[in-house]
């Protein structure tokens, strides 16, 4: 019985050491925002956010990029796959159309890069866009001497 327990312990220890060395290889991929922390724009405008992607693994990787945007926002250029050699970095630019109906306020946009070979090799960064308020006043003549109007905007 002691021999069996000793073998079980050694087998478990060997399995644990093998598994931990597989996870000790580092992050593999890193994504971070290189644009200013907050980009300011108005409704209907196009914004560019830049993200730095690095492959810090030991093999060449094919990465799939993805954008998660607020409702109604859309990329001008769709995300594409790209390849990075070990130790290589690149800057990826996300060009995004803000809808004309966007309300004034701060919005978060998420960019991620995930290895096609190993989905565990993935990272994401967040960019922020502050949509400026738009004020509009429409004055029209009603009856002589009186003016009526409407106030509209994105507030």
Q: Is residue 106 part of a domain?
A: yes
Q: What CATH number is associated with residue 128?
A: 2.60.40.10
Output the DSSP codes for 46-70: EEEEEEEEEE-SSS-EEEEEEEE--
Confidence grade of residue 127 (pLDDT, cut at 50, 70, 90): very high
Which residue range is the domain that position 58 belongs to? 24-153
For the ranges 27-31, 61-65, 148-152, the lowest mean pLDDT is seen at 148-152
Q: Is residue 5 part of a domain?
A: no
Phi, psi of 11 (to 5 degrees): -65, -45
Q: What is the largest CA-CA distance in the chain?
A: 107
pLDDT for position 78? 92
Q: Is residue 62 part of a domain?
A: yes
For the chain, how many structural domains are there in total? 1
Q: Is residue 9 part of a domain?
A: no
Q: Please tell me whether the overall predicted TM-score, pTM, comes out greater than 0.75 for this model.
A: no
Q: Is residue 7 part of a domain?
A: no
Please report, rounded to a whole number, the percentage of residues in the chain having pLDDT higher than 70: 71
Type and span of the H or E element at 9: helix 2-23
Q: Is residue 124 part of a domain?
A: yes
């Amino acid at each position: 019985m002691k021999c069996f327990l000793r073998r079980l312990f050694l087998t478990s220890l060997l399995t644990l050491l093998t598994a931990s060395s597989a996870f000790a290889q580092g992050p593999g991929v890193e994504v971070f925002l290189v644009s200013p922390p907050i980009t300011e724009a108005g409704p209907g405008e196009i914004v560019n956010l830049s993200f730095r992607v690095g492959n810090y693994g030991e093999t060449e990787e094919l990465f799939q990029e993805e954008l998660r945007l607020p409702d109604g926002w859309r990329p001008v250029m769709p995300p594409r796959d790209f390849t990075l050699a070990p130790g290589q970095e690149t800057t990826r630019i996300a060009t995004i159309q803000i809808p004309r109906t966007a309300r004034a306020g701060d919005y978060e946009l998420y960019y991620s890069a995930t290895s096609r070979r190993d989905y565990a090799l993935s990272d994401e960064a967040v960019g922020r866009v502050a949509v400026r308020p738009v004020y509009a006043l429409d004055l029209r003549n009603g009856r002589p001497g009186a003016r009526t109007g409407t106030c509209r905007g994105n507030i």
